[in-house]
Amino acid sequence: MHGEYKMPGGKLVVVDLDVRGGRLAGVRLSGDFFLEPDEALRAIDRALDGLPAATAAAALADAVRAALPAGTAMYGISPEAVAEAVRRALQPEAA
């Protein structure tokens, strides 16, 4: 599944994922945003992997926020933008 979200005033956020057993699997975040440190990208993928596919957008954003390494800088992206891209991947007809 594939979801995209252009954050207002920000950049394109892209999420590719599968759903297995009702849970997010193989989550891969990409886009034209910047994250520092580089490990933050992998931390976001890991935080989302395994969550129930029915997780609300606010809870997805909270999971992303909680997983970020201390001092992470996000440019053109936010936890809410990641959550929106995930929800769009799961509901492509609503995108």
Q: What is the pLDDT of residues 22-76, one digit of tens each?
A: 999 999 999 999 999 999 999 999 999 999 999 999 999 999 999 999 999 999 9
**Residue spans per domain, the chain:** 2-94
Does residue 69 have a cis peptide bond before it, meaning omega lies within 30 degrees of 0? no
Identify residue 93 by its one-letter amino acid code.
E
Beta strand pairing status for 12-20 and 2-6?
antiparallel
Contact 57, 79 (CB under 8 A): no
Fold of 2-94: Enolase-like; domain 1 (3.30.390)
User: How far apart are alpha carbons 20 and 61 in whole angstroms?
Assistant: 21
Whole-model pTM?
0.93
